[in-house]
């Protein structure tokens, strides 16, 4: 039988092909390794960038808190006098019910007790600690003080089938008797026609982030409390511009997350908080539920700074 002779050229081609194949495999393996290394570096860079951004954001929020919510509180240019005492004497606040609730929250502070019992209180000081208590005192004042806003305003619109159906009335659970027994019944504050006109004008332009209504329609506790506060400010001769400025301070303590977020929004627009117009900030565009929702589409919202519930 004849032997089959393999050509040397065929062997050379075979080895050349194997060499090329091996080289390609090595290139592919090396490429995968380089890709993974670069991917790891990229991921690390993104992680570091994210951490740096979070750190900068936290630092910015800390600065906003110092400016908007100072630890020592803010002295408001309005006197409380004996209103707490009168609210309990008339039964708008049932003292025992109030104390029972606050006993579950650590009890009333000495300053809280002064606001509730003393007759000679000076200017109100609002802090992160007492803002909830002030909210309840002002809620009682807004609910109980006789005023045309409660008697002729949106709360009396027939389509709502009674003013007792709102959170600001039905939710007031610490009165003697029914909350409606005290609704616009007591003359804690008497306004002149000019002062009443001012209260109504300003109330129609102050919103709160928890709902879509202005203070002129005080259907929740924050709205009713702000109505009481506006009457208190007007009765002591405060001008419109100062009323807006002071109302913004109070709203900020009641809704800290919202107003720190709004401050971030203005900072993004290159407007410092001290330069904002309080009237504009408190209006529909920023402070209503819909306005605040729009703000949150442009900046990451601040969270967990507290805030006062829509209830006692």
pLDDT of residue 307: 65
pLDDT of residue 258: 97
d(CA 198, CA 179): 27
pLDDT of residue 310: 78
Beta strand segments in the chain, E: 74-81, 121-126
pLDDT of residue 302: 94
pLDDT of residue 44: 54
Q: In this structure, is the dihedral angle defined by the CA atoms of residues 121, 208, 193 and 184, taken in order, positive or negative? A: negative
- H-helix or E-strand spanning residue 23: helix 8-68
- Residues composing the chain: 312
- From the number of C-beta atoms within 10 Å of its C-beta (0-12, 13-18, 19+), residue 312 rates as middle
Residues 6+ apart with CB under 8 A from 297: none
pLDDT of residue 162: 97
Residue 64 structure tokens: 């906003």
d(CA 149, CA 226): 12
176-181, long-range: CB < 8 A, 24+ apart: 176/91, 176/92, 176/94, 177/91, 179/143, 181/91
d(CA 227, CA 247): 10
Q: Residue 186: helix, strand or coil by DSSP? A: strand
Residue 55 structure tokens: 């750190």
Q: Residue 209: helix, strand or coil by DSSP? A: coil
d(CA 133, CA 5): 105
Residues 6+ apart with CB under 8 A from 24: none
d(CA 12, CA 285): 81
pLDDT of residue 247: 98
| Mean pLDDT, the chain cut into blocks of 10 residues (312 residues total) | 48 61 68 58 52 63 92 98 98 98 97 97 98 98 98 98 97 97 98 98 97 96 98 98 98 97 97 97 98 97 75 87
Does residue 145 contact residue 221 with C-beta atoms inside 8 Å?
A: no
Does residue 61 contact residue 264 with C-beta atoms inside 8 Å?
A: yes
**pTM for this prediction:** 0.83
d(CA 115, CA 95): 13
């Amino acid at each position: 039988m004849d032997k089959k002779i393999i050509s040397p050229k065929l062997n050379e081609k075979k080895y050349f092909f194997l060499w090329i194949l091996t080289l390609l495999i090595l290139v592919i393996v090396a490429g995968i390794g380089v890709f993974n290394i670069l991917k790891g570096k990229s991921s690390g860079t993104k992680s570091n960038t994210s951490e740096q951004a979070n750190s900068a954001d936290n630092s910015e929020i800390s600065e906003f808190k110092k400016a908007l919510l100072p630890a020592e509180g803010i002295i408001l240019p309005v006197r409380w006098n004996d209103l707490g005492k009168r609210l309990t004497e008339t039964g708008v606040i049932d003292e025992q019910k109030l104390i029972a609730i606050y006993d579950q929250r650590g009890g009333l502070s000495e300053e809280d007790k002064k606001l509730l019992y003393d007759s000679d209180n000076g200017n109100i000081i609002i802090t992160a600690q007492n803002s909830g208590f002030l909210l309840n005192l002002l809620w009682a004042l807004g609910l109980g003080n006789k005023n045309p806003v409660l008697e002729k305003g949106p709360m009396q619109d027939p389509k709502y089938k009674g003013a007792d159906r709102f959170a600001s009335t039905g939710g007031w659970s610490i009165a003697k008797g029914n909350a409606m027994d005290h609704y616009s019944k007591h003359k804690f504050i008497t306004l002149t026609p000019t002062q009443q006109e001012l209260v109504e004008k300003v109330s129609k332009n102050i919103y709160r982030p928890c709902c879509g209504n202005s203070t002129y329609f005080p259907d929740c506790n924050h709205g009713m409390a702000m109505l009481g506060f506006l009457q208190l400010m007007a009765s002591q001769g405060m001008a419109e511009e100062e009323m807006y400025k002071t109302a913004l301070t109070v709203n900020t303590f009641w809704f800290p997350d919202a107003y720190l977020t709004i401050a971030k929004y203005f900072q993004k627009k290159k407007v410092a908080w001290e330069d904002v117009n309080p009237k504009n900030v408190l209006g529909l565009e920023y402070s209503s539920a819909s306005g605040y929702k729009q703000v949150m589409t442009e900046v990451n919202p601040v969270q967990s700074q507290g805030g006062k519930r829509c209830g006692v």
